[in-house]
Amino acid sequence: MNWLPHNSPLRRWLAIGTGVGIEIGMRDLRVVAARVRPGGIRVLGSTVIERFRERPAAEWGAEYADFLKRLGLSHLAATVLLPRREVVVRVLALPGVPPRDLEAAISFQIDALHPYAEEEAAWAWARLATNESVLIGITRRDTVARYVSLLAEAGVKAAAFTFSAAAIYSALRLLGAPPAGGFLALHEDEEGIEAYGEGPARALFSAEFPAGWERGAAMAAAELRLEDGQSALRLAEALPAPRTFPPDFDLSTFARAYAAALHAACPRLDLPLNLLPAEHRAAASRLMYAPTVALLVLLAAASLALAAIRPIEDRRYLAALRAEIARLGPVAIKAGELDRQIEAIRARTRSLDEFRRRSKADLDLLAELTRRLQPPIWVAQLEMTRDAVNLAGEAEQAAGLLKVLDESPLLRNSEFTMPIARIGSAENFRIRCQREGGVP
């Protein structure tokens, strides 16, 4: 994601870098090397590698390496434009979707945006400047794998695989802003007419037309809903013009490779639409190691300084610690004594609370027995412990007392502790019951 708005004046001052762009054509490779500075763009060189599909990769790879060597750019990794016919370009409007949910929203719809099987598609996306639309590029995984293998065989280092719409969109905003109110730019080559435009109806429009210039322009303008009479530009006229360039450089021929070179020069200011798997991406500049080296130097200096002052700081800290211990020692002793006194008071409080609960539980149980063992039942002896109750007395029918007692919520597991004995018209009983839940 671009970390600066396209209309921020700071972007221009951060536009510093050198890059190589490669456009993969039907027959040839077009290569442009460019250097970007806040004051303008300088084209360092360009070349056409002809019939690369028919020649051994090592042969045309050596031709590419010689081109970079002449310019002193052998360390650079290129941005590669995949053929437009092999990339499905979609612009998806997602108003109201927060940035953290964009990936999930796109993944949910991606299968409906291309004609490939799910496992065959490779895709990448980036949010456009409108903040409500995203640009998505989709191609076949085997297409990416084929070009990765081909470039590796030729010894060509690639930092990114992207497509023309993403490179053009970024190039238009590198040192300025695109034309206000919308525009249409066309590029013609041996494959047909490629149209790129921006307008009120579409944040970005990209398509290929096999028809002629006028028909392609009319169809694209209708899609963009541009104002009547607004003529189509050549892509070379829409892109930021280079300040200097070699005499043999023709921007009309190398327009797309030129846009890719600008993308390679300032990748952090461009749309991060990279279809190249991360494991195959090569570093593009020696300058990328400068922050690491600077941080290592600062870390070494800080380590030396820390090693020098650590003994002094340790002695100071130890002295301050001892003084603080001497000052707070009596306070700590007093606090310990107070803690012990508080704990003793709490223990006595708990004992009183337990005694109060026991008395209440005993009275509740006595009331429960009085309610359940009504006359003519007579209890001659009652003994209560914390977990049991022992009853002895007389009743007309003692056998049913166990059920009566077990129905109480305060008693359980009632049992006779001796056989029932009949004396006259009454039966003597002795029963033991467990108290429900015990008593604290």
**Which comes out higher in pLDDT, residue 76 or 229?**
76
Q: What is the pLDDT of residue 264?
A: 93
Please report which confidence band the pLDDT of residue 290 belongs to, taking 50, 70 and 90 as the band edges.
low
Res 429 pLDDT > 70: yes
- pLDDT category at 5 given cuts 50, 70, 90 is low
Q: Is the per-residue pLDDT at 169 higher than 90?
A: yes
Query: What local confidence, expressed as pLDDT, does residue 1 receive?
Result: 42
Cα gap 264→77, rounded to integer Å: 8
* pTM (2 d.p.): 0.64
Residue 228: its pLDDT value, please? 67
Q: Give me the pLDDT at residue 354, please.
A: 73
Least confident of 286-295, 308-317, 425-434: 286-295
- pLDDT score at 348: 84
Where does the pLDDT of residue 225 fall: very low under 50, low under 70, confident under 90, or very high at 90 and above? Answer: confident
pLDDT of residue 30: 97
Mean pLDDT, rounded, of the chain: 87
334-378 pLDDT per residue, tens: 888 888 888 888 888 887 777 777 788 888 888 988 888 888 888
The answer, yes or no, to whether residue 388 has pLDDT greater than 50, is yes
- Partnered with residue 192 across adjacent β-strands are 189
Confidence of residue 292 (pLDDT cuts 50, 70, 90): low
Q: Which of 25-34, 244-253, 349-358, 364-373 has the least mean pLDDT? A: 349-358
Task: Report the greatest alpha carbon distance in the chain.
Answer: 138
**Could you read off the pLDDT of 171-200 as tens digits, one per residue?**
998 888 888 778 999 998 877 889 999 988
pLDDT band at 309 (very low <50, low <70, confident <90, very high): confident
Highest mean pLDDT among 5-14, 157-166, 395-404: 157-166
Summarize pLDDT for 35-49 with one digit per residue, the tens: 999 999 999 999 999
Lowest average pLDDT, out of 148-157, 198-207, 308-317, goes to 308-317
pLDDT of residue 259: 96
* Mean predicted confidence (pLDDT) in 209-232: 80
Give the pair of three-digit tokens for residue 78.
């290129």
Under the banding of pLDDT at 50, 70 and 90, the label for residue 7 is low
Q: What is the pLDDT of residue 324?
A: 87
Q: Which amino acid is at 53?
A: R
What is the number of other CB atoms lying within 10 angstroms of the CB of residue 226?
Answer: 21
25 or 348: which leads in pLDDT:
25
**Confidence category of residue 229, pLDDT binned at 50, 70, 90:** low
Taking residue 347's Cβ as centre, other Cβ atoms within 10 Å add up to 10
Q: Is the pLDDT at 385 greater than 50, yes or no?
A: yes
Tell me what pLDDT residue 3 has: 47
34: nearest Cα among 231, 260, 321? 260
Long-range contacts of 145-154, Cβ-Cβ distance < 8 Å, separation of 24 or more: 147/24, 147/80, 147/82, 148/276, 148/277, 148/280, 150/57, 151/80, 152/280, 153/57, 153/58, 153/61, 154/57, 154/58, 154/60, 154/61, 154/64
